[in-house]
Amino acid sequence: MSSFIQTQVSNGRIATSLPRGLVAVFVGGTSGVGERVMKHLAKNAVAPRIYFIGRSQEAGGRVTSELHALNPEGEYHFIGADISLLRTVDDICRDIKAREQFVNLLFMTAGRTVTPSTGDTHEGLSYTCSVTFYARIRFAVNLLPQLQKAPSLRRVVTVFAATKEGPVDPHNFPARNLPPVRARAHVSSMMTLALESLALEAPDISFVHTSPGPSSSSSSSSSDISPKGGKSKSKGSSTSGKAGKGGGSNGIRAVFSNVLAPLVAVGSSAGEVGERQLFFATSARFPARSAGCVVDLVGTAGVPVFEGQGGGGGGGGGGGGVAKGTDMREGSGVYSVNHDGEGPSQKVVGLLQDLRDADLVRWVWSHVEGEFVRVTGTAFI
């Protein structure tokens, strides 16, 4: 079987491998990659409970109707908000934590395709990084307790520029005024290093940094995704989502659209992108690292890998057993994979190790936590 066929087979096992009532939070689910993955999850899971966050109430209602058409057994909650503000992120997390005892999956794409800006938010954070980096990490920090309580899958996925990590300027963590390509590499490294820091705090959760494929807002319709158990194209229903806290756009449209263009997978359909990203989000190929650094292949790891898939190479595609983490150890809990599931080049692996040796994991986290405390008064809620 080809890698993509294996990916589809793995996704088809979600219903039998993961329990009923899977709880997922999508930060950015009203267009693009986030919408595609959310719809594939709704189709494959049994009675999932999905929360998705976006700015457009109209898009939220449309997507909710389409999710119900794909799987009427699921619960779908749209939260309309501008997450460029960390205080808004905290409000959303409080709402979710009040409703759910646990969360299985945190999947984040918001801000992935925004025009670079040197301006700041009302909270004094760079627009360039507010949604793409700070807000995503704030969601992860705030929801760690719920993720750690999950009885099955425990995973955080952030879609940005994985495998394109590059030099970090420790005197300019917010990436203000950096050229676009350099800013992409800088923020990509910060993302991966921040996930490594989170994994030290929560070794029972797996963290996956991925790159996008060729999904766009205009190609995100669910018309090519059949309803659960059906073969026809879905037409949506009239059910609308439950709106959460509202908010304006503050001028943010997405992050780094021009520099992420080279990451797009040529020749892959939007449906294939959704399937592959769902695989990254649910497969036991990307397990958490236990406190004893023992590879976790059962329980909370996700959909079991296929028999005979073999040892873990650097890639993360549909085959190959357990993947290697960012430290090049199998199943080490933090993964950087491109749209096809391949890991970073040896050059990037060496660069990341140089950053660790220079104590950048601690430096990055100290900066992030300092900004959290400055803006919200707390390191987490």
The tens digit of pLDDT for each residue in 240-265 reads 333 333 333 333 333 444 444 444 44
Burial grade of 318 (CB within 10 A; 0-12, 13-18, 19 or more) = buried
| Stated pTM of the model | 0.86
The residue segments making up the domain with residue 239 are: 3-375
CATH number at residue 295: 3.40.50.720
- Is residue 380 in some structural domain? no
pLDDT averages per 10-residue partition of the chain, 381 residues = 80 97 96 95 98 96 98 98 96 98 97 59 90 98 98 97 97 92 95 98 97 56 62 37 37 41 51 93 93 55 73 48 94 95 96 98 98 98 96
Confirm whether 231 is domain-assigned. yes
Q: Which residues contact 195 (CB under 8 A, 6 or more apart)?
A: 156, 158, 207, 209, 334
- What pLDDT digit, counting tens, does each position of 140-168 carry? 999 999 999 999 999 999 999 999 999 99
Within-domain flag for 320: yes
Residue 335 lies in a domain: yes
- pLDDT tens-place string over residues 311-325: 444 554 445 589 999
Give backbone dihedrals phi and psi of 338, rounded to 5 degrees, phi first: -85, -170
Structural domains of the chain, count = 1
CB atoms within 10 A of CB 201: 11
What is the spatial distance between Cα 324 and Cα 206, in angstroms, rounded to a whole number? 12
Token pair 């959310």 is at which residue?
A: 38
